[in-house]
Amino acid sequence: MKNIIRNITLVGMTTAALFVTSCTFEEVVDPNGPSVDGVQSEASIGQLNELVVGVESSARNGIAIETTASGTMARELYLFDADPRNTGDLLGKNGIGLDNNSFYSTAQWNGSYRCIKNANLLISAANNTSAITNGERNGYLGFAKTIIAYELIQMAKSYGQARVDVADEENLGPIVGEAEVLAAARNMLNEANNELNSGTFLFSLSAGFDGFDTAGTFSQFNRAVAAMAAVYAGDGPGALSALGGSHFNLNGDLSNGPKHLFAPGGNDALNGLFKLPSTSVEDQNNGDQIIVHDSWINDAEAGDLRVAAKSAPRPDPSASLDDLTGTHETRLYGSSTDFIDFIRNEELVLIYAEASILAGNLGNAENGLNVIRNAAGLANYSGDTSAAGLTNEMLNQRRYSLWCENHRMYDMRRYGRSGTLPIDRAGDQVFNQLPVPLAEEN
């Protein structure tokens, strides 16, 4: 049917003016947003720059649902709110299957393809205007293709498949498997990086890209995404090569990296993963809260600073919803305008460790894991230093460093460990990927 992608409207275009103000973009022309036809031929620089705003803005779409859905399926959290599907469908309650026409199956698909549509429009507009030089055109193309590849990787993680060829919405390509999606994303990232290396940015990005807001520095983000895609594809040497051009720094600030920004306002967006802290039992029982899975608390090493930094005890740890409970709730974000990382140095250090294992450089892998451990207040690793042992440690450090960031479900699936996840109610099931929406089935 393929109806979702064909019917997606350009979101981020009409909201760009407010996003500019609240997220520190520079002002652009046509604040009501250009029409599609108006930018297909001889787009002005101002129109191209507004398309850039739309791409970055729409890259935030679907993050919260994507993260809580995959986190629930991976038994790292529960979302306690008014929708029973969050504690029913996603956990396979009483043998129920996932619904391919529900919010958790459509939110990320819609969000990612809305962003991809905006990026494809930018590519078309940049290719069909004489208002810019070839170097400036390469800047627009390298930016857009990097974001498209990033979105495709997120689709591979959540759905295990995606539709790669969507530039012509009247002639969409087929839905293809994870390996093909990752290969296409890696090729696109390499193409984009070549363009960035010979390009220049005429446009401004939000403050979330401070330090990554020129063609040369944005290339570091491109190479970080390429390293991520490489380890997902099992290519350790390729990942290590890509890390060399990224913002990876074994001795640097682990928080460094591009970020999604959020702001209040009817035409902007808030961080949907922020939850107000429960201050009383009544508040707890009436609220909308992300509950930390007890196993994440119980399995943590003593003294791990990440536990206290990312969670806090609930006023009534025995309070349950749908026969589920947890002693702690989220403190991952401090406000509804806190940023969410695209990819920070902490993740890159973990990618370095994983890539080193895949490449047989076990000493380097252990060094990388010790950087993460030490930053969390833990002593150097003293366990099994074989490839298998270091892989276990790497996955464990990813579990704590990247909690509630849409990684755990995919990590378990790609390492064949979904079957090791706990079952908290009799009759529950473990799912490790979302269904493709009904309207997108081939």
pLDDT at 10: 58
Angle between helix 215-232 and 134-159 (nearest 10):
30
What string of pLDDT tens digits covers the 442 residues of the chain?
456 676 666 544 434 433 433 343 333 434 444 567 668 889 999 999 999 999 999 999 999 999 999 999 999 999 999 999 999 999 999 999 999 999 999 999 999 999 999 999 999 999 999 999 999 999 999 999 999 999 999 999 999 999 999 999 889 999 999 999 999 999 999 999 999 999 999 999 999 999 999 999 999 999 999 999 999 999 999 999 999 999 999 999 999 999 999 999 877 899 999 999 998 877 777 679 999 999 999 999 999 999 999 999 999 999 999 999 999 999 999 999 999 999 999 999 999 999 999 999 999 999 999 999 999 999 999 999 999 999 999 999 999 999 999 999 999 999 999 999 999 999 999 999 999 999 987 5
pTM above 0.75, yes or no: yes
pLDDT at 1: 41
Using CB atoms within 10 A of its CB, is residue 330 exposed (0-12), middle (13-18) or buried (19+)?
A: buried
CA quadruple 165, 182, 351, 66: dihedral positive or negative? Answer: positive
Residues 110, 62: Cα–Cα separation, whole Å: 8
Is the CB of residue 163 less than 8 Å from the CB of residue 172? yes
Q: What are phi and psi of 14, to 5 degrees?
A: -80, -15
pLDDT at 37: 67
pLDDT at 39: 82
Domains, the chain, ordered by start: 3-262 (1.25.40)
pLDDT at 4: 66
